[in-house]
Amino acid sequence: MATQTPQRVRGTQDMFGEAAARFERVVDVFRRVARLYAFRPVQVPIFEATAVFARSLGETTDVVSKEMYSFEDRGGDSLTLRPELTAGIARAYLTEGWQQHVPLKVVSWGPAFRYERPQKGRFRQFHQLDAEVIGVAEPSADVELLAFGAQLLEELGVSGNVTLQLNTLGDAATRDSWREALVAHFTDHRDALSEDSQDRLARNPLRILDSKDPRDRPLADAAPAIDDFLTAEAGGYFEQVQRELDAAGVAWTRNSRLVRGLDYYRHTAFEFVTDALGAQGTVLAGGRYDGLIEALGGPPTPGVGWAAGIERLAMLIDQPATVPLDVAVIAGDGDEATTRALAAGLRRAGLASEAFTRGNFKKQMARAAASGARFAVIAGAQGAGAGEAMLKDLGSGEQRPVAVAQLAAAIAAA
């Protein structure tokens, strides 16, 4: 019986060619813009103790109750593949002594895992960009992160299709008063709510506001607005965020129904949304989470951050240009070892090179032309003396013998 070939697990992806190039383009631009804003790269484990995510995401959220990949390891500990990156960074802030670096401005990127229905741009193993500022309570941190996100989208060439939606969640006093009013409003109309929203009413009433169920929309749209409950301090904070965004030239629009369900979120909440993927979709989102570090057992510590899906951004960008070789090294009448040694020397000099040794000279030249390289170096060519190789401009066809030790300099000067 023939052995059946294992298949790719549903909700995962294999990337090659254009897909891989798009992915790398997003990450490369992210890393470059992060350096412009003086954010430092960090990496944290892709799995943590389950309690890290249960505390940070909330025991009653759908992510924790339905979507996390949790398992018991051989030592009997409950571990979870990270469904997002912020909680792991917050845990590391507490356990690795990163408090000494406050204000801590960090970025990270990598895979995350959620068991949900795979669809366009959404996978069970997906990849995120992540940016965090920990230890800064002022609105300036929110604005810097928003400017970072806006510049990232601009340099990826997708900002024309994206709108920044902004809201405030107020301070603790604001949130408590608003939550109480929302519970009263939705309780009065409980029977008209969807089953999911009836469940949310008891454990997470703010989430009813962004329900997509048509039964919930009229009630959500008629719900009390947070502006009616803002304290003077919370209102002043939000006004300063708006002023600084305007001064920084970051365009935004108010969405008073944009919420975050967990109690540790405060003040600024935001989403960069697009309709370029069909239905309106979020490509970058975040907010201020001043209670997160405390929820993980640390002291009260302000923080704000955002995450973006690499796959979704990769779908929005133009197809990246293929990066051609600098040099195609051709064996010609030379031996394979000499040809490969020439390629190795050019690589050490910083020139992207490939050795073509198979087939006759005509086939080697055809492959060199197809590679997109500007130059060919022919290891064994008539007219080249001892210690020389022929350097050929594949655009003009001009060629000349050059000393092997001078090849890199001759190519750089051309």
Looking at this protein, which amino acid is placed at residue 170?
A: G
Q: How many residues does the chain have?
A: 414
* Residue 151: per-residue pLDDT: 98
Helices (H), 205-360: 217-221, 232-248, 292-295, 310-316, 336-348
* Residue 62: per-residue pLDDT: 62
Bridge pairing between strands 353-356 and 327-332: parallel
How many angstroms separate the CA atoms of 21 and 15, rounded?
A: 9
Same fold across 18-171+231-316 and 327-413: no
Give which of 160, 212, 174 is closest to 288, Cα–Cα: 174
Give which of 145, 336, 116, 331 is closest to 244, Cα–Cα: 145
Mean pLDDT by 10 residues, the chain (414 residues): 86 94 97 98 97 76 75 95 96 96 97 86 92 97 98 95 94 91 92 89 83 89 92 97 97 91 86 80 94 93 96 92 88 86 95 92 91 91 81 92 93 89
Query: Selecting from 3.40.50.970, 1.10.1740.110, 3.40.50.800, 3.40.50.300, what CATH number does the domain 327-413 have?
Result: 3.40.50.800
How many angstroms separate the CA atoms of 365 and 325, rounded?
A: 14
DSSP class of 304: E
CATH code: domain 18-171+231-316 is 3.30.930.10
Beta strands in 247-374 (DSSP E): 253-254, 266-274, 281-288, 303-309, 327-332, 353-356
Q: How many CB atoms lie within 10 A of CB 161?
A: 14
* Residue 114: per-residue pLDDT: 93
* Residue 284: per-residue pLDDT: 97
Contact 152, 30 (CB under 8 A): yes
**Single pTM value for the model:** 0.90
What residue ranges do the domains of the chain occupy?
Answer: 18-171+231-316, 327-413
